[in-house]
Structure 1
């Protein structure tokens, strides 16, 4: 079975009080790796398997510099993001249910990275192909 998934950055959050209290550089600000609205497409077929390359070159849309976006042509996904979402990417690429019973649609979910002081929220959608 061939699998496709679309990943979209829905939002970025910053918690300056947490950065101030816990981060070595409390002025670092929002995540520099992604932009709200960035879109990525993951494929898995006989020719291409984006999962095994940590999403490098899966970026299809950005308002920023594609070379500076994690998942663009030069950078793999951020390791904190990849650790948080890779299991959902893999499940969707295999054709599985991403979050049945929790989300409105079993082929779609929202999730975020594990950087609690400046998190990025993603929508992951399995694209069903005939």
Structure 2
């Protein structure tokens, strides 16, 4: 079966938003660290954040079904049509991921 590799590219913290909207002290995401890699099918890795998996699953599913992100609105977007950059929807401490279809 086809697989994808998910790599954590960057973890961030929007300190100004955290200060304005969060209770207490907030730091960057504690689940992921830069450089972390996961090889996946359609099953969420046990240690993967549920919310991030929900955000990335449409990209993973498209790659596993043989699709890519080089047509229509994505034409000319990514240099490699076997890769996509996406992030989780946490506006306070987003994490940016590279999703790559393994061929």
Alignment TM class, shorter chain as reference: 0.7 to 0.9
Structure-1-length-normalised TM-score? 0.70
Distance in structure 2 (CA, Å) of the matches to 1:23 and 1:79: 20
Q: Which residue of 2 aligns with 1:20?
A: 19
Cα deviation, 1:5-40, whole Å, max 9, x if unaligned, reads 111000101111100111133x12110000100000
Q: CA deviation at 1:82?
A: 1.4
Q: Which runs of 5+ in 1 are unaligned?
A: 44-50, 57-69, 71-76
Q: Which residue of 2 aligns with 1:7?
A: 6
SS at match of 1:11: strand
Distance in structure 2 (CA, Å) of the matches to 1:24 and 1:93: 40
Report 1 or 2 for greater relative contact order, CA contacts < 8 Å, sequence distance ≥ 6. 2
Q: Which runs of 5+ in 2 are unaligned?
A: none
1:40 aligned to which of 38, 41, 44 = 38
State whether structure 2 residue 98 is matched by structure 1 residue 123: yes
Distance in structure 1 (CA, Å) of the matches to 2:26 and 2:51: 16
Runs of 4+ in 1 over 6 A off after TM superposition: none
Q: Which residue of 2 aligns with 1:83?
A: 54
Q: Which residue of 1 aligns with 2:65?
A: 94
Cα deviation, 1:67-114, whole Å, max 9, x if unaligned, reads xxx3xxxxxx212211211111111112211x2122111110111100
Q: Which residue of 1 aligns with 2:89?
A: 114
The root-mean-square deviation of aligned C-alpha atoms, in Å, is: 1.3
